[in-house]
Each structure stands twice: as structure tokens, then as C-alpha cells.
Amino acid sequence: MPVNILPTRNDRVLRVSPGLLVLSMAGLALLFSVRLLTGLVPIAEWPDAIWAADGGDVPSLLFVYSHLPRIAISILAGAALGLAGTLLQQVLRNPLAEPTTLGISTGAQLALVIALLWQPWLLDHGRETVAIAGALLAAAAVFAVARSGQSSPLSLVMAGLVVNMTLGAISGVAVLYNHEYLSELFVWQSGRLEQSGWSQVLFLAPRLVCAFIVSLLLTRPLALMELGDEGAQSLGLRMAGFRPVALLVAVALSASVVAAVGVIAFVGLAVPTLVSLAGARRLKERLLWAPAFGGSLLWLADQLVQQVAIGNTTLPTGVATALLGAPLLLVLLPGLRNAAAPPAVSFAAARRLDRPWLAVSMGLAVLGLALLGALAVGKTMGGWTVAGVDAADFVARWRGARVLAALSAGTLLGLAGTMIQRMTGNALASPEILGISSGASLGAIALTVVLPGFGLASLTAATTASAGLSLIIMLAVSRTTEFSPQRLILAGVALGTIVAALSEMLIATGGSSRTFLLSWMSGSTYRVTWDTAIAAACIATVSLFASPLFARWLDVLPLGESSARSLGMNIGQARGCIAVACALMTAGATIVIGPLSFVGLVAPHLARAVGISRALPHLVAAAIAGSTIMVLADWLGRLLIFPWQIPAGLLAALVGGPYFLVLMWRRA
């Protein structure tokens, strides 16, 4: 998300020097480590333990092959992520750039899934190689899509977002139908640092050293990138040469980390920010301090995690960094200067329709056809069936509620997505960034822990309550800034990180609720009953009819905050109202089909691409586009791999993602 949260030159929010910060964290981590290690082997016997490990007793074995490599890998992984994050943020000039932004993590994950499921021999040549290959391919896809836009940082991030979504959907489907591998992948995704030897350390260390040397050599050209593409070019720097090298180093390094220990959230994102908050301004300083900072941070986090046992196990380190880091981001927010409004990433319509409502009514016709198909055409053990009027009961019983739910959720997400994109002036925005769907998921996750054998009623209650709670938190956090889009986005990112980490941990540790969580989070309409479908339809209808109330605001807000204010708009009130409306709509959709963000992102773009630009027709067209996508996805999801079913949300991302990428590629 293109938000400038980096402090400007004179801001030094943390009143500690980077050196002191690193030293104190490393010192604390060392203290914890020594405590842990002496519990295993007394200090006096450490040399013996190290030299005699192979023939020795169990404690010295654990000492040498489990604890020491764990400390080493935590430092190495943290340093590598800090370095990679700094490089990425410098090259992309985007403070929210991190390994996941570029599809590195999801690319690596998908490569591992494919290798595991279909070509296990590939793993014999090293899991790491497979993961790095996948990460590089995904990153290459991101760059290829964004290439025609002169690799501008914003189009890169946007392409990364969509590639992530698509790859995530593919591995989601693959794993959903090979769920014996499920926990393995989620373990790996939740970032556990348990070690059983030195192989990962020996794998990561040389790569980190190489990357560090290369990035030091690149310091000068990279520093010039701060001037922006034109500025750097005018100083004789050929961006075309250095950017790919720097990106390659960062991608390969973070892919190595992902391959070695899995996904460690937040370190790559936070370390560069924290380092510059601590006063390391120049790139060279940051390149030196970020690895030190990242290393000591992850070391400390990993030691802290080991102090607290949860049952018999401990919190995965990746989950812990997310849980600790995300609130930190929120705490640091007030100290960060509110930079100028983020530049809008928009798909400026190449053409503009003179009669938008004609396009809207044509869209309506397409939606009608999709509805007819979804209701009437299905499969059964004999093959294809077309339900006639006599089968009305069957259709109403099995398809009616699902189709109505898909229709309503698509409408709600299309409306909410349009509102958020117009309000924030950011085409990357989707209902998910408000943190509402994340909040709703948090409720579902909490429910699976507290009340494993829950029913639909308690699920609805829990998701509604937590969606409401996250709305309140979100509004409270951003109230002082008149609900500025940046604040909203950051709050949403923070909440989303926490939710992703928690759900990965829960899914990884198993239990009967995990498949429910998985299918709920992938946007399945399977469990929808008539009650919930009708409730969602009511919310959708009300929202649709209420949307004209917001049209004028949504027309004026893209003009920017000062213009809107000078036209007499009460910015705080308008944004607050829109945020609340979006939250209610998103919550309504999330409760029915789970935290699905793709439709909310894509439907407004579709409407714009057709050539609709005024707020009211844009809202209506996005609602139609959203519901058409959802209805089609639900229908095809029931047909494609019958009798198995692909959740509508996953399918929408699976088909919509590539479409969106092609659209970007052509347009950029």
C-alpha cells in the first residue's frame, strides 16, 4: 500500500541511538539464552558439551543440535529480513514493501506445495532450491506485469498484491484437496525456528554474507534512488541496471529465509522503519544497522517465545513477531509524520462512456444470465442436469440460499470497495484494509478456540461482535486524524497481520476446527442457510438504496482533502460515515462468506475499466460486477471438480487474479 510513513529528515521519534537499541536488545536476548542454556548444561560444562556432543548425553545433544543452531538461525534470519526489507523499501521507495509485498513468500509456498503434491523428487534437490525458484518466479511475474509501467514502485506493489492473491488461492485450492499436507504447510507458514541441526544455519549464513557485501557495493546508486526515477536518472544513474540487481538480491535473500524457517512476519517491514526512527538516516547507516537490528530483534523475540510455554509447545516465532509487531506499528503511528496524501494508484479509464446507465443495464442482464445458470444448471451423479420448474423445491433447498448469499456478498463488497477506493483515492484499497473482515475472522478464530463445537448462531454472533469491536478500535485509532486514509490503512494492515498469524497458528496446530477455518476463510457459501442469506440480502438491499446518499461525497473526496474541505465538506464526518457504512457492509459480507477481499478490490476496477467514472453509476456498476463475479464463482465452484467444490472466494481469486494481471499488463 503506497503510504508514506517514513519519518522525514528531522524526525527522530525514538530517542535512542540505533547502537544502544541493538546492544540492549542483544544483551537481553543473550541473558535469556544463557538462562535457557544453563538450564540444560551448566556453563562450566559447555566446552565439553560442544566437543563431545555426538557421543554425549541428551542435554549436550540438545545444546549443540537444537538450542545453539536455533539462536544462530534466529539472528541470521532476522538480519537477512532486516537487510532484505531495507533494500526493498529503498528500491521501491515504499515503506510497506517487504518480502510478502512482492509475492516472495507465496511464491515460495506455492512451489513447495506443487513439489510436495505432484513432483516430490524435486524436493530431493533441496526444499530450499524449490522455494527460491518459486519466489523468484513469483517476483519475476510481479516485475513482468509492472514492467510496462516503467517498474514504478506503485505498480510493482499493486502487481505484487494481485500475484500474492492469485498464488495464495492456487495453493489454497491445492492444499484444501490434499489436506494431509495441510498442517505441514501451515507450520511452515507460521514461522517456527525449531532446529534439529546446523544445516539451515550453514545454508543461510553464506547467502546473508554475499547479500550484505553486494548491497554495500550498491550503496551509492541505491542512495540516489531516493531522488525518484527522474532525479536519479538526471544524475546519470541508470536505474534499469541497478534496480533489478538490488531487487534480485533482496528477493533471493528473503526467499532463502522463507525456505529455511518459513514466513516470519513483520521483521522485514518493521526493522527498516524502526532503524530510521532511531535516527539512522543515510542509506549506508541503515544498511549497516538494519541487519544488526533485525538479528537482535528476532533473537530476542525467539527467546521470549521460548520463555512462555503454551501447553506443551510454544508460540511460533513468526506468529509472535506479528502479534508484537502489529500493535507496535499502531503505537508508533502518532510519532510518524503524516506525509502528503498517498499518490493515487488508479486505473484511469482510457475511455469514458457517455451513457453509463446503458452499461449498467447491460451488466444487469449479464448478472441475470449468471443467476439463471447458477440456479438451474448443475451436476449430479448422471452428469449435467438442467432443473425445470418441477425441480423448484430442489433448487430452492440447495442452491437458492447459496446463490442469494453470493449475490448479496458480491453486492456488498462491490459497494464497499468502491466507497473505500474513492474515499482513500487509492485503487489498491479494498474492504479488507479497514480491518473489518480481519476483525470478523478474529471472532471466528476465537470461537474455534473457546467453543470448539459451535453452531451457526454463535458464529454469526462472534463475527458480528468482533467486526463491531474492530470497527470501534479502527475508528478510535484514526479519529484524531479525521479518519485519514493512511491511518485507516495502517490500522487495517496491523489488524490483518495479527489475524493472519493467529489463523495460521490455529490451522497448523490442528484440531477439528481447522478445516472449518480454512474453508470459511476461503469464501465458501457452503454453510449458508436461508436465514443468513436473507439477512445478507436485506443488508445488501438497504446498502444499495442508501448508496446515493454517499454519491456526492464520493464524487468530491477524490479531489483531495483540501479541495473537499474548501467546498465546505466536513471531512471527518464524511469519512467517518463512509467508514462506518463500509464496515457494516463488509461485516455483512464477511459473516456470510468469510473474509474475502478480492471482489471488493476488483469490482470497482471493472466498473472503471468499462468507462464509468461518476460515483453513483460507479457504485451501482461495481455492485453488479461484484455480484456477477460471486454468483459465477459460486456456480463454477460447484461444477468444475464435481462432486468436490471450490469455495467461491478462492475461485474468484483464481480466475479474477490472472485477469486483473493481464488488465494491468496491457494498460500499464
Partner 1 sequence: MPGDLCAKGSPDLCSRKDRATVLPITRRTLLRAASLIPLVAGDVAAQPNAVPARVVALDWASSETLLSLGVAPIAITERDRFLSANPAFAARAPIHDLGAPWEPNLELIDALAPSIIYTSSYTKMVEPQLRRISNVVVTDLHGGRRDQLARCAGFARTVVTAFPGLADGSLLAAMEQTLARNRAVLSAPRHPPVLCVYLHSNGRFANVFGLNSFAGNVVAHVGLANAWAAPTNSNGFDYVGIEKLAAIASARMLVLGDGAKTERALKTLKTSALWNAIPAVKAGEVRLFPDVAMYGALPTAVRFSQMLVDEFAREKPDAG
Partner 2 sequence: MTVCLSVREASGVCAAPCFKVEGVSCLVGGRQILGPVSLALKGPQVHGLIGHNGSGKSTLLKILARQQRPSHGSILYDGVALDRLDSRIFARKVAYLPQQTPFAPGLLVKELVAFGRYPWHGALGRFGSDDRRKVDEAIEMTGITAFVNRAVDTLSGGERQRCWLAMLVAQDADCLLLDEPIAALDIAHQIEVLSLVRRLAKARSISVVVVLHDINMAARFCDEIVALHSGKLLAQGGPSEIMTPDSLRRIYGIDMEVFRQPGGGFAALPEPGASGQGAPR
- Selection from partner 1, partner 2, none that 62 binds (CB < 5 to 8 A by kind) is partner 1
- Selection from partner 1, partner 2, none that 187 binds (CB < 5 to 8 A by kind) is partner 1
- Selection from partner 1, partner 2, none that 357 binds (CB < 5 to 8 A by kind) is none
- Selection from partner 2, partner 1, none that 52 binds (CB < 5 to 8 A by kind) is none
- Selection from partner 2, partner 1, none that 27 binds (CB < 5 to 8 A by kind) is none
- Selection from partner 1, partner 2, none that 368 binds (CB < 5 to 8 A by kind) is none
User: Do residues 197 and 69 lie in contact, with contact meaning Cβ atoms separated by under 8 Å?
Assistant: yes
Q: Taken in order 260, 175, 518, 448, is the CA torsion positive or negative?
A: negative
Least separation in angstroms between residue 544's CB and partner 2 is 17
CA distance 164 to 127: 20
Least separation in angstroms between residue 312's CB and partner 1 is 4
- Whichever of 449 and 546 has its CB closer to partner 1, that residue is 449
> In a 10 Å sphere around its CB, with 0-12 CB exposed, 13-18 middle and 19+ buried, how is residue 639 labelled?
middle
Q: Which parts of this chain interact with partner 2 (CB under 8 A)?
A: 10, 344, 346, 348-349, 352, 425, 549-550, 552-553, 555-556, 558-560, 562-563, 565-570, 574, 608, 613-614
User: Do residues 445 and 466 lie in contact, with contact meaning Cβ atoms separated by under 8 Å?
Assistant: no
- Selection from partner 2, partner 1, none that 2 binds (CB < 5 to 8 A by kind) is none
- Which of 477, 421, 428, 355 minimizes the C-alpha distance to 146? 428
- Whichever of 150 and 196 has its CB closer to partner 2, that residue is 150
Prior bond of 643 cis (ω within 30°): yes
User: Which amino acid is it at 508?
Assistant: A
- Whichever of 266 and 483 has its CB closer to partner 2, that residue is 483
User: Do residues 289 and 276 lie in contact, with contact meaning Cβ atoms separated by under 8 Å?
Assistant: no
Least separation in angstroms between residue 539's CB and partner 1 is 21
User: Do residues 271 and 82 lie in contact, with contact meaning Cβ atoms separated by under 8 Å?
Assistant: yes
Q: Which parts of this chain interact with partner 1 (CB under 8 A)?
A: 53-54, 58, 61-62, 65-66, 116, 120, 123, 127, 176-177, 180-181, 183-184, 187-188, 192, 194-197, 311-313, 378, 380-382, 394, 397-399, 452-453, 455-456, 459, 508-512, 515-516, 519, 524, 526-527, 529, 638, 642-645
Least separation in angstroms between residue 151's CB and partner 2 is 20
CA distance 190 to 265: 8
- Selection from partner 1, partner 2, none that 24 binds (CB < 5 to 8 A by kind) is none
Least separation in angstroms between residue 196's CB and partner 2 is 52
- Whichever of 116 and 429 has its CB closer to partner 1, that residue is 116
- Whichever of 134 and 425 has its CB closer to partner 2, that residue is 425
According to DSSP H, which parts of 119-261 are helical? 121-124, 127-147, 153-176, 182-189, 199-217, 219-224, 228-234, 239-261
- Which pairing describes strands 309-310 and 313-314: parallel, antiparallel, or unpaired? antiparallel
Least separation in angstroms between residue 557's CB and partner 2 is 10
Q: How far is CA 379 from each of CA 66, 284, 385, 538, 555, rounded to the nearest angstrom?
A: 53, 62, 5, 30, 45
CA distance 522 to 267: 26
CA distance 224 to 290: 19
Least separation in angstroms between residue 182's CB and partner 1 is 11
- Whichever of 334 and 452 has its CB closer to partner 1, that residue is 452
The residue behind cell 532446529 is 195
Phi-psi region of 107 (alpha: psi -120 to 50; beta: other; left: phi over 0): alpha
Cβ atoms < 10 Å from Cβ of 4: 19
Distant-in-sequence, close-in-space partners of 299: CB < 8 Å, separation ≥ 6: 25, 26, 29, 33, 71, 74, 75, 78
- Whichever of 484 and 524 has its CB closer to partner 1, that residue is 524
- Whichever of 64 and 583 has its CB closer to partner 1, that residue is 64
CA count, 13 A, side-chain hemisphere, 22: 21
- Which of 86, 23, 18, 10 minimizes the C-alpha distance to 283? 86
- Whichever of 348 and 450 has its CB closer to partner 2, that residue is 348
- Whichever of 28 and 123 has its CB closer to partner 1, that residue is 123
- Whichever of 426 and 519 has its CB closer to partner 1, that residue is 519
- Selection from partner 2, partner 1, none that 642 binds (CB < 5 to 8 A by kind) is partner 1
CA distance 285 to 264: 24
Residue count of the chain: 668
Least separation in angstroms between residue 568's CB and partner 2 is 3
Least separation in angstroms between residue 397's CB and partner 1 is 7
Least separation in angstroms between residue 560's CB and partner 2 is 4
Cβ atoms < 10 Å from Cβ of 655: 17
- Selection from partner 2, partner 1, none that 511 binds (CB < 5 to 8 A by kind) is partner 1
DSSP string, 428-490: T--GGGGTHHHHHHHHHHHHHHH-TT--HHHHHHHHHHHHHHHHHHHHHHHHTTTS-HHHHHH
- Selection from partner 1, partner 2, none that 388 binds (CB < 5 to 8 A by kind) is none
Least separation in angstroms between residue 265's CB and partner 1 is 19
- Selection from partner 2, partner 1, none that 509 binds (CB < 5 to 8 A by kind) is partner 1
Distant-in-sequence, close-in-space partners of 621: CB < 8 Å, separation ≥ 6: 356, 359, 360, 363, 606, 607, 610, 612
- Whichever of 104 and 508 has its CB closer to partner 1, that residue is 508
- Whichever of 82 and 172 has its CB closer to partner 1, that residue is 172
Least separation in angstroms between residue 432's CB and partner 1 is 24
Least separation in angstroms between residue 320's CB and partner 2 is 34
CA distance 581 to 562: 23
- Selection from partner 2, partner 1, none that 171 binds (CB < 5 to 8 A by kind) is none
